[in-house]
Structure 1
Amino acid sequence: MTKRHITYLACTTVLVGTFTGATPASAAHRTLVVRPGESIQKAVDAAASGDTVLVRAGTYHESVTVRTPGVTLRGVGRHTVLRPPAKTKAAQAGTAAGKAASVTCLAAGNGICVVGGKNRALRDVTVSDLRVTGFAKTGVWSMGTDRLTVARVTADGNGQWGIAQEHSTRGAFRDDTARGNGDAGLFLANSVKAEQGAQDTKGTVVERSLLAGNRIGLTVRRLRNLDVTGNHVTGNCAGVFVVGDENKPRAGALTVADNLVQRNNRYCPKTARLPYLQGSGIVLTGTEKALVTRNTVTGHSGKSPLSGGIVLFKSFVGAPGERNRITGNRLSANSPADLVNQEAGKSGNAFDRNSCRASKPAGLC
């Protein structure tokens, strides 16, 4: 890519200083424009903190890794499309550093990777206004980040997760669409490779997103302190899973509120971790102090152990759910019941002020 291929649009009239990973306060932030046929990775490698890589409409057959703090990777909407390269060589475009990063991300099966250091979080990266589709594992994957924003991203037809994040804090996932992915449309976790207690996300939010036609719409695994609000979750095998286990701190102390969860009735066969899924709205398993409130949960039907409108299910490793509160929800036409509490003993879970017709055991409505 020649100099004319990357356009620098200065926000001020003077560009001062050199770029060594952090833009001086006196320097103008730049917009680096990528057009069809050019390398997104090459532009990302050239970007400094505070810069924007603007990807024009078109289809780009590559995988991209972001390792610089404060960078924005932005398309122009769903017409900016990232797909896997047709040939392995296509993944090797860019600078030497870009080659290694891009190939590593692609080799893992991912479209866009946002990666922090082992002991130092990558801060303030934004990925927005584009579509990532057809990757073997994940459309947008991030690890070791702080204040990552993923906004107005469409992640569809990826082999495992649409959008996923591990070991990160203060993420914001807003107005995204995750459709037709092999496992969760949106997957948030502490770590998938280590047994450890739930991580405090320090206020991660999932807001106003459409999660449709996946195995699970949203999975929140071994996390604390986050909000899931105002999302539309429909047509999955299961809508929302909040998952904990016996490790400490326990998963929970989070809020699931004001979501529309409807007709998640696809059939998905069992896995090593879960029985078959069908007809699950919102499921809490092995959590504590979770608040599930003001959700509309309707039209679920199935005979899986996890079927029902809002389901409290004892963790598969035996960890009970405790002190969860299910309040002010509107439930209808869910089978085997609108509210299902499979927890035994004195769990301290509370069901109050829910609008529903049937519960298991009776008396929760």
Structure 2
Amino acid sequence: MTSMMRCTLRGLAALSLLAGALVTVPAHAGCDARPRPGDDLQQALDALPADGAAKTVCLAAGEYRLHGLVAIRRDGVTLRGAGPRTVLRMQDGVAQPLLVVGEPAEEVPSRAIRDVTIEQMRLIGAPAPQEFMPEHPYLSNSGVVVRRGERVTLRRLELDACRSACILTERDTRDVTIEDSRVIGAVWDGVSFNRTAGVKMIGNEVRGNVAAGITAEHLEDSEIRDNTIAANGSHGIYLSDSLRNRFEGNRFERNRHAGVFLTCAVRFRDPGPVLCWDNSMSQANVFEDNRFERNQYGYDVGADRAANCALPQWQPNLWRGNRSDAPNRDPQPAQLGRCTRAA
């Protein structure tokens, strides 16, 4: 074989690998259950054997009408659609989330649910007067709720019209991957991380949500990279009491207020002014090579005497290589410190 032929074959192999990374996995590949539109999805999940082995539930193209939440309570489950032609739609007026990873009937989950993947489908919420489920008022009516999950992957999803957030992680969830998904039209935040660590959120579009594109209340050691966060009603990212996260290569565009809002964990909101929990200001985060266009501010800061950037042991957020057509705002630096440092 000539050297030119070897180079050609290597090039074709590389192209094949690249193309393979973008191709939707067929819904019938390695399926252990194949519920059809009209079937009971909860029944299909609950029928999986409790033997600890990984199982895949494949959904055909078509619309699955949900009359209540569907819970994944078992480790090692993949729920796979056939792409955006697989639609999970909540019945109008039902005040419940669509999918819950974890136990919805426990306010504090008694165990972690591990190694779950939800991929290749569209999820559509329903108008409802309540943000929280009346039967379980600790459970928000989001699109996907991950409750004390570990090693959870959300991939190639389209989420729309969520009554609360479209994706919510909570209750000490760890090691979540969110990739190649589109989150639009949430009545609250697009994506919400609450007491979560080890997120990898890569290559997503988060657009047109009523509040923030992404909100984080105690997010640690995570990577938010190469996402488009645009046209959200408050901030691109609302970052509260969050530590050691990296934000790189993202595009923040036309968010109503700041691209990034750095703040504390709120102790009291009403009545009177917002007050922070002690020492809860977001710190030690890195913002690098992001692009900010047509936001009111590149970054903005909300601090007070209890939680600010002048306290002993506080670690600055690093701001480097970012491009912005709007000013940054770090109010009262003499009293509250500067919350970012150029590096």
TM-score range (shorter-chain normalised) is: 0.7 to 0.9
Q: Of the candidates 132, 135, 145, which is equivalent to residue 149 of structure 2? A: 145
Identity, % of aligned positions: 26
Q: CA deviation at 1:31?
A: 2.5
Q: State the one-letter code of the partner of 2:294.
A: G
> Does 1:70 find its partner at 2:59?
no
Structure 1: gaps spanning 5 or more residues? 1-8, 12-29, 88-105, 191-198, 245-250, 266-278, 302-307, 354-365
Q: State the one-letter code of the partner of 1:326.
A: W
Q: State the one-letter code of the partner of 1:70.
A: G
Q: State the one-letter code of the partner of 2:227.
A: N
| 8 A contact 1:139–1:161 mirrored in 2 | yes
**Aligned equivalent of 2:186:** 181
> Secondary structure at the residue paired with 2:46?
helix
Structure 2: gaps spanning 5 or more residues? 1-27, 129-140, 264-280
C-alpha distance in 2 between matches for 1:282 and 1:348: 15
Number of equivalent positions: 269
C-alpha distance in 1 between matches for 2:59 and 2:225: 29
| 8 A contact 2:250–2:290 mirrored in 1 | yes
Q: State the one-letter code of the partner of 1:178.
A: V
Q: CA deviation at 1:78?
A: 1.4
**Aligned equivalent of 1:329:** 322
**Aligned equivalent of 1:297:** 292
> Does 1:284 find its partner at 2:284?
no
Tell which deviates more after alignment, 152-161 or 110-119. 110-119
> Secondary structure at the residue paired with 2:91?
coil
TM-score (norm 1): 0.69
Q: State the one-letter code of the partner of 1:209.
A: N
| 8 A contact 1:314–1:343 mirrored in 2 | no
| 8 A contact 2:251–2:292 mirrored in 1 | yes
| 8 A contact 1:61–1:86 mirrored in 2 | no
TM-score (norm 2): 0.73
Q: CA deviation at 1:312?
A: 2.6
C-alpha distance in 1 between matches for 2:230 and 2:102: 30
Tell which deviates more after alignment, 125-134 or 339-348. 339-348
Q: Of the candidates 228, 237, 260, which is equivalent to residue 240 of structure 1? A: 237
C-alpha distance in 2 between matches for 1:10 and 1:183: 36
- For residues 110-164 of structure 1, the C-alpha deviation after alignment (integer angstroms, 9 at most, x for no partner) is 0001115834211000111111112442111110110111111111111111111
The structure-2 alpha-carbon separation of the partners of 1:36 and 1:281, relative to structure 1 and needing over 3 Å to count, comes to: same
- For residues 6-37 of structure 1, the C-alpha deviation after alignment (integer angstroms, 9 at most, x for no partner) is xxx895xxxxxxxxxxxxxxxxxx53112122
How much is the aligned-residue C-alpha RMSD, in angstroms?
2.3
C-alpha distance in 2 between matches for 1:216 and 1:33: 37
Q: State the one-letter code of the partner of 2:151.
A: R
The structure-2 alpha-carbon separation of the partners of 1:86 and 1:240, relative to structure 1 and needing over 3 Å to count, comes to: closer
The structure-2 alpha-carbon separation of the partners of 1:346 and 1:164, relative to structure 1 and needing over 3 Å to count, comes to: closer
The structure-2 alpha-carbon separation of the partners of 1:289 and 1:76, relative to structure 1 and needing over 3 Å to count, comes to: same
Q: CA deviation at 1:254?
A: 1.0
C-alpha distance in 1 between matches for 2:246 and 2:143: 26
**Aligned equivalent of 1:57:** 61
